[in-house]
Chains A and B, each alone.
Chain A
Amino acid sequence: MPTTEPREKFIVPIGPQHPALKEPGHFEFTVDGEIVTGATARLGYVHRGIEKGTEDRSWVQNLYLLERICGICSHSHALAYALGVEKLAGVEAPPRAQAIRVLVAELERIHSHLLWLGVAAHEAGFDTLFMYSWRDRETVMDLLENLTGNRVNYSANVLGGVKFDVSVEQADAIRRGLDFLEERTQHYLTVVTTDSMFLRRTRGIATMSKQQAEALGVIGPTARASDVPRDVRVESPYAAYTTFPVEAVLATAGDLEARFLVRVKELFESYRVIREILDRMPAGDLTARMPRRVKEGETVSRIEAPRGELFYFIKSGGGDRPERVKARTPSMFNFASVLTLAVGHQLADIPMIMAGIDPCFSCNDRLVVVNRIGHEADVWTWEKLRQYGIEYYRR
């Protein structure tokens, strides 16, 4: 907004609370007129002391505790932990169990990416896309429920294997679901690359060069959209990714559009690998025998969660519970990149920049515009900021 009066510095605090989605976080953006000049973050509103909690619980109890770190990628947490503990104990889950683990991991990626597509579309004011993508997401949620009994927190893993088998009927249901989703995804790919209103919100926005992406240390789809080939499934395959390899989906533009492209295209790669697993499911047991005590030692377990590399460090003192479990989630990296990327952008772009990293961002329901000099505060909601962004681009 052009103004003749001297511009004052504003701090725009966003967050922390929003009951609707995951992970609240608090950000403060310093703005000079329209332009963001600085950003800081404060997290921890849902810090539940889970790492500390693991030290008081048995190896098995922790599987269920850690699965509850995140409702979106619960399987990723359980898988990273189970693989790490199995490595420490010198136990290897049977091939069929590993294949089922990857099957669930990829179904989880599909639901997570579709969830993100809807949320990001909503932030852009494109609610039709939001409604359709969430309707279609129900397909994969149903498949997960049919397979595991749960829509979230599937508890597919046990230490040493998995809890359930995949029947012929379930496999057919998954194939039918994927056929439908693949057709829909093709449509979404067309929409996010051709809809001119939508492209105004994504093309050339929050561009991160390959060098920047490496320096900021972003991971997952956010990195791959800047041509940084970081994908643990490819770099350090775990579970059944050695037998059923995936290809890293890369884009070069590094802007928001590229982040849409990468995530939507990754869906096709997930469909392909799931079909391959169903067609060539290894026969055999579902679990290997797991000791109650785990040998003394330390290990690092890394897997590719929907948002990027999930890192677990596990230390055993030889007892029936861990000495230390450290979980570093992908958002830890990607949040930090928002703080840098936001600088120089319009305040109106913030919702989309946040959405671009697929963070747990919808928490930011409350926004206070503070005039630093006059000390007068005006309370904005996240909804108002979102609306502001949409209106801004209508002009």
Chain B
Amino acid sequence: MSTEPLLQKPELVLALSQLDRCRLCMAETLLEAAKALLQPWAAESTLPEPNRMDVPIPAADLLAAVKALHDARWGYLSAITGLDLGPEAGAMEALYHFCMGAAVVTLRVRLPRDEASVPSVCGLIPSASFFERELSEMFGVTVTDTPDPSRLFLPDDWPDGVYPLRKDFVMSPTGGGNGAQAE
């Protein structure tokens, strides 16, 4: 590698730090592009960190928003995070994280806690199947039209209707759950 001796020169260390800034500008440009693609929903978008953009999306528009990013080949779906805001808030969120370079766009779908349902994105992104199976068994979010709705992680004898990553599910000291939601 030729970089080694070069890096010891101060002007090149400076150049490197500019490269860092450049990467950040690139992330900003990428986020701008994503914002343009997500124009119908972009009004409410926020930038929680310089390389990240959050865009709230109604569940009914999720497929359209994912399609906009997917068709433009903007990054890839890196993860789907379920987020329970607790029984008091009565809401949950499903976060669809798309990554491109250093930029991360998160589509935030807010869902009522008692009737959480999102459409499957597997028609566009087949690799989302595992994420959707995890989301539905851990949070009790119904994923309509997902190709394989069976359990991925939870054991076969896990009780129906008990979702361990919801906030009102409490682990017992022995490691099992209390079945708080099972009734």
Contact = CB atoms under 8 A, between A and B. Distances in A.
A and B: bona fide binding partners: yes
B45 interface: no
A315 B83 contact: yes
B129 A336 contact: yes
Interface stretch (A109-117, A137-145, A194-202, A325-333): A325-333
Interface string B135-176: 000000000000010111111000000001100010100010
Given A52-B165, A56-B171, A311-B97, A300 B23 contact: no
Contacts of B169: 52
Nearest to A325: B81
Nearest to B78: A311
22 contacts: A41-B130, A44-B151, A56-B171, A87-B49, A215-B127, A217-B76, A217-B126, A217-B127, A235-B102, A236-B102, A243-B7, A245-B3, A272-B1, A276-B4, A299-B49, A300-B97, A300-B106, A326-B82, A328-B78, A328-B79, A336-B130, A340-B126
Given A52-B164, A298-B48, A300-B52, A280 B7 contact: yes
Nearest to B176: A49
B130 to A, nearest CB: 6
Interface string A203-242: 0000000000011110000000000000000011100001
A358 interface: no
Interface of B: 1, 3-4, 7-8, 16, 19-20, 23, 27, 48-49, 51-52, 76-79, 81-84, 95, 97, 99, 101-102, 104, 106, 125-127, 129-131, 148, 150-155, 164-165, 169, 171, 175
Contact of B175 (A40, A49, A247, A302): A49
A64 interface: no
In this complex, the member of A56, A276, A332 whose beta carbon has the largest number of chain B beta carbons within 10 angstroms is A332
Contact of A297 (B3, B48, B84, B129): B48
Interface residues of A, number: 45
A291 interface: no
Nearest to A235: B101
Contacts of B48: 297-299
Interface of A: 40-44, 47, 49, 51-53, 56, 87, 214-217, 235-237, 242-243, 245, 247, 272, 276, 279-280, 297-300, 302, 309, 311, 313, 315, 324, 326, 328, 332-333, 335-337, 340
A302 B99 contact: yes
A300 B169 CA distance: 25
Contact of B76 (A214, A279, A332): A214
